[in-house]
Amino acid sequence: MFNIILFGPPGSGKGTQSEKLIEKYGLVHLSTGNLLRSEIDAQTPLGLEAKSLMDKGQLVPDEVVIGMISSALDANANAKGFLFDGFPRTEAQSEALDSLLKLKKSEIGVVLALEVGEEELVKRLLNRGLTSGRSDDTNESVIRARIVEYKRKTTVVADYYARFNKVKTIKGEGSVEEIFSALCSEINKRLS
Ligand code: AP5
Ligand code: MG
């Protein structure tokens, strides 16, 4: 099993690149943002609780997302590997993920960290907000709150995996194809 974390701030291109990577490498895509939005669409109690936090640009509680990831890992027992997108987002989530993978005699192969300047992030998300229907994209103050939350709580995830020498930084500005090819070249190095 080869597992990848695609890491980076809101709007850095995690979702865009994930779609291409899962197709090329046959991985199962696990995006906690997508899983939470499905819960919101289905109007489950979990979705309703998450929505109020997501609309403010704040993280939902660790135990909620860890529970979702744990179920998703069990539901895909025969996966060739997983691509984690938007998870883990705190040190507690990172530790929980490592324990869950260990139970499956597996681990994270690499953390690919997309780097994009803050003004470019805001521009991309405001632009996406024109059509995405995502309530957290529609106004600049929520977009900026998501970036603040990322800096305060999520950058530590890269520090956590750097301790195990697993982080590779990738420039996340340029064309989607250029960035995809840089990501693939890092993955291929580790697969061969
Ligand atoms: P989540 O859904 O994970 O959103 P996010 O991290 O804020 O990031 P985005 O999905 O907005 O951006 P992305 O990096 O995927 O970029 P994309 O490819 O879409 O989380 C949403 C919320 O859910 C959180 O705020 C939190 O409340 C909650 N949540 C989720 N996971 C959680 C967790 N683990 N713990 C706690 N809470 C959690 O691209 C963005 C735009 O840019 C698109 O329009 C795209 O077309 C464009 N674009 C992409 N690449 C390029 C390029 N190279 N050049 C120009 N434009 C580009
Ligand atoms: Mg995304």
List pLDDT tens digits, range 13-68: 999 999 999 999 999 999 999 999 999 999 999 999 999 999 999 999 999 999 99
Please name the residue whose Cα sits nearest to atom 34 of ligand 1. Answer: 87
Decide if 64 contacts 45 (C-beta within 8 A). Answer: no
Query: So what's the pLDDT on residue 149?
Result: 98
Read off the pLDDT band of 164 (50, 70, 90): very high
Q: What is the dihedral of CA 24, 171, 164, 95, to 10 degrees?
A: -80
What is the pLDDT averaged over residues 89-109?
Answer: 97
What is the arithmetic mean of pLDDT over 63-87? 97
Question: How many angstroms does the Cα of residue 1 sit away from the middle of ligand 1?
Answer: 25
CA-wise closest residue to 137 among 148, 151, 122, 152: 122
Q: Which tokens go with 15?
A: 């979702």
User: Is the pLDDT reported for residue 192 higher than 90?
Assistant: no
Q: Positive or negative CA dihedral for 127, 152, 18, 87?
A: negative
- Map out the domains of the chain as residue ranges: 3-184
Ligand 1 pocket, residues with Cβ under 6 angstroms: 8, 10-16, 32-33, 36, 53-54, 57-60, 65, 86-87, 89, 93, 124-125, 128, 136, 146, 176, 179
Strands ordered across the beta sheet of 167-171: 28-31, 82-85, 3-7, 108-115, 167-171
Average pLDDT over the chain reads 97
CATH number of this structure's domain 3-184: 3.40.50.300
Minimum CA distance residue for ligand 1 atom 21: 33
